[in-house]
Chain A
Amino acid sequence: GAGVSQSPSNKVTEKGKDVELRCDPISGHTALYWYRQSLGQGLEFLIYFQGNSAPDKSGLPSDRFSAERTGGSVSTLTIQRTQQEDSAVYLCASSKREEGNTIYFGEGSWLTVV
């Protein structure tokens, strides 16, 4: 696609429910990133994929968070047993070496846990 696509754009969920956030990167981009951003704040790195493998999972805040990437393309970020502090914007981004590793971001998935 032309840009990084994320879905859903907005999600309201009840505390304790599981949520899945989807990211479709730019076609041909081998690297994929997930970040979290609380309202008006900076970016919190969550996880990075190179192809289907995740060499850096250091940012996942707890074992309730997991992510996978299949076919070197689409990625899913799953949050189990959501808590109110999980409320944030979840930003996905992608890049490729041939473009100087410029990271391009999606519009984000806005998660509200009530």
Chain B
Amino acid sequence: AQSVAQPEDQVNVAEGNPLTVKCTYSVSGNPYLFWYVQYPNRGLQFLLKYITGDNLVKGSYGFEAEFNKSQTSFHLKKPSALVSDSALYFCAVRHQGKSTFGDGTTLTVKP
């Protein structure tokens, strides 16, 4: 069985500060890992993914994520948060044809 955990329901940061949204996973084997963002009343938008290669993955809107195999983590980061980054963020893992999403983390960036 595979699973994804986003331990924080809510993350609050001030604009201009770095942000981290945490994700850990459990899967036997090598996973594909994804981050999605959902703005209010919209569908999920793909941000970035890790399949293989460099552990640091860069994606849309200045976001990046680091794959850490030993800690089974794939935390989403951004060096300088914007108010417009406020949204619901989902981490997902795909393995052997099955995709599993985390419960989501609401990011609020305050001016």
Residues of A within 8 A of B (CB): 4, 33, 35, 40-43, 45, 55-56, 91, 93, 100-108
Contact = CB atoms under 8 A, between A and B. Distances in A.
Identify which of B36, B43, B46 gathers the most chain A CB atoms within 10 Å of its CB. Answer: B43
B84 to A, nearest CB: 19
B75 interface: no
A20 B99 CA distance: 25
Nearest to B48: A102
B92 interface: yes
B23 interface: no
5 contacts: A33-B99, A42-B102, A105-B36, A105-B45, A107-B42
Interface residues of B, number: 22
B46 A102 contact: yes
Contacts of A106: 43
A33 B102 CA distance: 16
A100 B51 contact: yes
A100 B32 contact: yes
5 nearest A-B residue pairs (beta carbon):
A42-B103, A105-B43, A105-B44, A107-B43, A43-B101
B94 interface: yes
Contacts of B51: 100
